[in-house]
Structure formats: C-alpha cells, structure tokens
Amino acid sequence: MCGVTGWLDWAADLRTRGTTVEAMTETLACRGPDSAGIRLTRHAALGHRRLSVIDLDGGAQPLEADGTVLTYNGELYNYTDLRRELESLGHTFRTRSDTEVVLRSHLQWGAEAPRRFNGIFAYALWDGRTEELLLARDHLGIKPLYWHAHATGVLFGSEPKAVLAHPAFRAELDAEGIAELFALPAAPTAGHGLFRGLREVRPGHLVRIRRSVTRETRYWQPVSRPHTDDPATTRRTVRELLADAVERQLMSDVPLCTLLSGGVDSSAITALAAQARERAGQGKVGSFSVDFPGSTDRAPDDWRTGADAPFVKAAAEHIGTLHTTVVVPDDDLLDARAAVLRARDRPGWGEMDASLHLLFREVRRRSTVALSGEAADEVFGGYPYFHDPAARAADTFPWLHGRTTPAALLRPEVRAVVRPEEYTAEQYRATLAQVPALPGEDGTDRRMRELFHLALTRWLPPLLERVDRISMSVGLEVRVPFCDHRLVEYAWNVPWALKAPGGRPKGLLRDAVRDLLPERVADRPKSGYPSTPAVRYTQVLTERARELLADPGAPVFDLVDRETVRLALKEGRPLPGPRTAPNPVGGLDHLVQVDEWLRAYRVGLR
C-alpha cells in the first residue's frame, strides 16, 4: 500500500515548487517506506510514497502515459482480468503492476473505470490533455483520500498530514469540526475531514476538478431489489462470494498473514485463506492475535463476551495456522500514545488504538500484508444494536441510543454554538434520506435496511479509518474481504429473517462457514476488540487529567468545561468517551488526547 499527495494550482507554475511537494510527500513515508517519487507539471504536482507489494521492481510512481499522470494507493484484486481485457483492446504494458492497469483503464474508459474495479484504492489522476484532476476512492472507503479547495486550486493527500504540510493550509477547528469530534466521534459525517476546509473523498465517489468547475459524483452504492434466493442458495452464494474475495486478496509478492481474534469473522477468513493456499501448493498461513496480561479476569459485558485466547487457540489448531499471540503490557501502551496520535492526525480511541499499533508493529516484522475480518458485523448484523428493540426503534443512530457522548463535557458557550444534539439529529435525518429504498418494503425489513445503511455509512467508516491509519503507520497493508463490494451488494438485499435465522446474530454467515470451524468458534457470541484491564494505564491517565486541571493554559479547556471534569474525577465517575463499547478509561483518554492534539497540531479554534 502507499501514500499519495499533490497540489493543483491554476495561478502558479508548479514546476518550480518541488520542495513543497517533496515535503508533503515525505509526511507519508510510513505509508510507503520503500521508495518515493514526484512529478511536476505546470499546474499539477503529484507525489507518491510506495510500499512494494506487487511487481516489486516495476511499480514505481507517479506513473505516466499519453499525457496522463497517476499517483495510486491500493490493490486491484481483478487487475489480471482487466489487463487481459485491455490487451485485447490494443493496450501494451511495461510493468506487471496493478497501477498500470488503473492508468490504462482510465485511458480506455475514462471516469467509468472505477466501476470495473474490485479492490481497495484511492488515487489522483491528472490528465494534461484536458487539464482535469480526478480523485477517486474505493466502494466502501477502505483507503483514504483528503482534499482541500483553495482559491486557485486544490491540495490532496492520503492523510491530513500531507495537506497540513502545505503552507497554505492551517489546522483549524470550527463548530462543525467540534461537533464531529465531541458529538459524533462514533458516527462521523461522510466527506468531513474534521479540520476546517478539509474534505474527504466519499466512498464510491469521484471528484473531478477543472478550472471552472468541481463536480463530485457517485459511481457506486448498493441497489435495493427483491431477494429471490431460497435459504440454501443464499448460504451457498455468501460462501462462494466470501471464498472468492479471500482467494483474490491472497495475491502478493511479499509475506502475507491473517489477523485471528477467535470470532467467526476472522476465523472464517483464516480458514478460507488456508484452503486457498493449500490448493495453490503453498505453505501454512501465519496468524496473529493480541492479548493483555490479566485479560481472562475481565468481567463480560454487552460488547465483550469473554477473553479471546481460548477461541483463538481452538481456531488456530483446527485450521492449522502458524500462530503468534502478541501480549501487550501497560507500559508499552503508554509509550505508543504519541505514535498513534501522529498516525491518526486526530484524537482516536486511546488504549484500543495503542494496542492495535503494537499488534501491527509485531505483525510487520514478519509480514507486509494481513487479512482481517473487519466489516462482517456491519454486513451481516452482528452488533448488539441490531438486536436490541429499543435501539432499533430509537430516533437516532442506534448505537448512540442511551449513550452519553463527550459533547456533554463542552462548555456552555461552546455548546450554544455547536448545538451537538441538533447537529446529531440533522446528520441522522440526512443519512436516512440517502437510504436506497425498496418500493413496497415496510415494517421490520424496511427499518433493518435503514440500520444496515447507517452501519455501512456511519459506523463502519471510523473502523476502517482506524485500521488504515494504524496499520500504515508501520507499513502494513490490511485487506478486508468482507468489504468486497459484490458480497456487500448481495447481503444488502437479504431479508433480516435470513440474515438472522431464529434471531441468531450473523446466523447466515455462521451457517455459511460452519463446516470450516470448531463448533465453539462458529457459535461464539459477538465479542468486540479487546480493551486492556490494566490498572496502571488508568492511573497514569487520571494523573494526566489532574495535571490538565491544574494548568490554566490547557487548550482542551477552551472547549471542555473544567468544573464538569473536576467534579467527575472527584466523585470517581468515568467521563463519556468516543466509543459506544463500555470502557471506563475511554473518556479520560479522549480528554487527554484532545489536549495533546490541540498542542501538537497547533489547532486554532474558529
């Protein structure tokens, strides 16, 4: 995987601005540690950092042909099929890379090219013949791409840090950004880049920029239609689509592994990968999991039903993987906080991000690519809110029903400007208005379609963002077979009664892969990403919060009410955090990290 960045300016000659473009590109070195390149033209400058995965010797970027320049981050899993088709149409290729397939697809089909892609991607393509810059992002938004329109052009980059490296962009937070950070950290608005003036190319969208006009168009979303397959055919189709997605995503010229948590999602991915490697005459698949000292002592809750370790062991032994468990102690979590903040360019999920960073760092020592079970719960309905009648009926994002967000900590005068409750309600209504409705559908199936739309467009994006930023901060490419858009399209129209037969969460998926797994794994209840039971981590964060309270210049209290925090700490009450899963230290983490972010990024308030 890679990092892309660039600068379009109609009023400047960018052939003389290489130093600025190099600085923007260098911020993405962690995404692409293997090589770097820039291409300067009069009005467009493109930068690239490369993580070599396919065609290690021939995939250098930016790539140019027939007056068109491409800087590309991603993997096309159907690139060999597309290459054969393009060759039949008269195209010749200089490399074995999927990058060249993307470029020549655009030369052949123009802006219609992304409709033909199966993969994860975010890229910028400059057509010097028509003087048009095109920004594109994959169907589900697995790979990121941010952009900022300035008076005479556009800045863009895989991460905000690349845009922030340009002297024309300032790190500022306005009322909408504050609302996103405090009211909707678990349901961010598509296209919002948090910083004032920063946007994100939305999943399944293209942004086309010319001198006089900028147009954003959608090239993909699930289409609602009646589901006519019987239960057996539905199970078989899900299995076939998932198996094909896994097999396609095993392509790599570098070491590859899986992330195995012991749940049905990651275990199914690992089992299908093992089968595909066996058919190809390859060796056993390597797998990795994360754990913490004392994790077996943690009490279950609605989001975490028990320790992962016994289920990981059962799955790894049954499938026959070469398994490694990465145990993360307290001190390592604390030490990783600064690296995670730099990776995400924004306050994140605290110790859950830190442990993921440490896991990925260890995985990267032996593999460059990892397959993950991310998104199965959003596609097949595995989260508690899908099955809670009160959450399903709530007139808000179902995972926020009955929850207190960090917006409760805002100063009264800030709340008056931000209007967090109104903002949340507006975003909820706007998202529901975008649901591709099925004529004649009503009752439970209509509401469940709305919930799946909310899950795919508001819940899944921050999970994918988290995985992308943290994995790429150590140069690891994470692939997500459950996000294959063909599987998502099919599951989108499966009625709720078939997705959850007998009321069983993810019953359709469980039955489709049951033969691959031990029974206890196939039937294991949903258990979220583990959080540490560490006492010292909580103690250190509590002390840092007290230090902030004693600091009259702490920037976080330009936003947050100091006395509300002081009283909560005095009474031993947890602060509201950015995640919906129970986490007693999550609110403290968010408070401290917001302060660290405001300082480190010198964020101004507007």
**Residue positions annotated with a catalytic role:** 2
Quick check: helix, strand or coil at residue 121? strand
Residues 7, 44 contacting (CB under 8 angstroms):
yes
Please give the C-alpha separations between residue 341 and each of 489, 506, 557, 590, 600, in angstroms, as whole numbers.
Answer: 34, 34, 19, 11, 9
First to last CA, the chain: 35
If you compute the radius of gyration of the chain from its CA atoms, what whole number of angstroms results? 23
Residue whose C-alpha is closest to residue 28's, from 468, 458, 397, 347: 468
- 35-40/44-50 β-pairing: antiparallel
Residues 141, 73 contacting (CB under 8 angstroms):
no
474: its two tokens: 């150590």
Peptide bond before residue 62 is cis, with ω within 30 degrees of 0: yes
DSSP state, 201?
P
Helix (H) / strand (E) containing 485: helix 485-492
Please give the C-alpha separations between residue 421 and each of 193, 258, 417, in angstroms, as whole numbers.
Answer: 20, 40, 11
Q: How far is residue 118's CA from residue 502's CA, in Å, rounded to a whole number?
A: 33
**Dihedral sign, CA of 477, 274, 263, 358?**
negative
- The DSSP secondary structure of 283-321, one letter per residue, reads -PPEEEEEE-TTGGGSPP-SS--S-SHHHHHHHHHHHT-
The gap from C-alpha 414 to its chain's centroid, in whole angstroms, comes to 29
**Dihedral sign, CA of 50, 54, 57, 62?**
negative
Query: What type of residue sits at position 318?
Result: H
154: its two tokens: 């556009």
Residue environment code for 268-291, b if the CB has 16+ CB neighbours within 10 A, otherwise e: bbbbbbbbbbeeeeeeebbbbbbb
Provide the residue count of the chain: 606
263: its two tokens: 């749940």
Quick check: helix, strand or coil at residue 322? strand
What does the CA dihedral 150, 152, 154, 160 come to, rounded to 10 degrees?
-30
